[in-house]
Amino acid sequence: MRRGALGALPTNLEYYDFLDEFTKAVKQNYGENSCIDFANHNAFELLAKYGTTHLVFNDDIQGTTVVLLVGLVASLKLLGGSLADHTFLFFGAREERLELSLEYQKNVVVEEARKNIWPVDSKGLIVNARKESLQAHKKPWAHEHEPVNNLLDTVKAINPAAIIGTSGVGRTFTKKVIEAMASINKRPLIMAFSNPTAQSECTTEEAYTWSERVELSSQVEVPFPSVEYNNKLHNPSQVC
C-alpha cells in the first residue's frame, strides 16, 4: 500500500533532504523493523548512505545477489575448487547485476576477483578499448582484451566455467553458445537468471539437450518442468 500526496516527485537535493527526514521518522516511530525498497537508480547511493544506521534493503540488488551466490556455491560440488578458481561470464551488465559479483569478492582482493568476472552488454565484451564510451559503473569491469561483439565469440575467447544470464532478453543462450560451453567444460554451468519465462536466456530442456551433458548443472530463477534426457529424468535446480 502506498500513501502520500499526489504530485511531482522531488528530485536531487530536495529528494535527499526529504529522505533524511523520512528515514529518521520511520526509525523513530517503528524502530529497527523496517525494510525500505527504492528504485534501482537511487538504491545504490541510498544503501551506501543508510546501510550503517538503518535496516535498508533492496531486493533487486541484494536479494538477487544472495540467490546467485547460493547457486554458485552449490555448484562448486560439481565444478570443484573455490569461486576464485573459475571464470564467470555475466551476460547483461546492468548496474544492479554487476553488484552481484561484488559479493563474491569477500576475502579476495578486488582487482584479483575482477580478473575472473567478464561482463557482456548489448555491445559486446566490456573491454578497455570501449572505456571512454562506457557508463561509470561498467568501467571498473573493463578488461584488457580485444573487442568481441557477441556472446558466442566471447565464450570461445575467455573459456568461462559459467555463463550467468541477467539480460532480460529471451533465448540468447543459443544452441551454438551452449554447445561452445559444453566443448570447453565437462560440466558447464548454465544460469539463466532472467524472468519471467519468456525472458529467460534458455530453457532447461535446451540446456540439457544442446549440451549433450547428463551431468550438466542448470540453475534457473524461473520454474521449468523436469526434462527426460538419455532415459533419465532431470530436475532443474531452481535457486529461488
Binding residues: 37, 60, 195
Estimate to the nearest angstrom the gap between the alpha carbon of 166 and the chain centroid.
5
Domains of the chain (ranges plus CATH)?
12-57 (no CATH), 60-238 (3.40.50.720)
Residue 219 contacts residue 190 (beta carbons within 8 Å): yes
The residue ranges of the chain whose pLDDT is under 50 are 1-2
Binding residues for (S)-malate: 195
Distance CA 117, CA 129 (A): 17
Cβ-based burial of 72 (10 A; exposed 0-12, middle 13-18, buried ≥19): buried
What is the per-residue pLDDT for 74?
Answer: 84
What is the per-residue pLDDT for 175?
Answer: 96
Grid cell, residue 16, equals 535527499
Binding residues for a divalent metal cation: 37, 60
What is the per-residue pLDDT for 105?
Answer: 56
What is the per-residue pLDDT for 93?
Answer: 67
- What is the sign of the dihedral through the CA atoms of 178, 130, 108 and 238? negative
Angle at 207 between CA 206 and CA 208, to 5 degrees: 95
Per-residue pLDDT tens over the stretch 169-181: 999 999 999 999 9
Q: What is the DSSP letter of 128?
A: G
What is the per-residue pLDDT for 1?
Answer: 40
The identity of residue 149, as a single letter, is: N
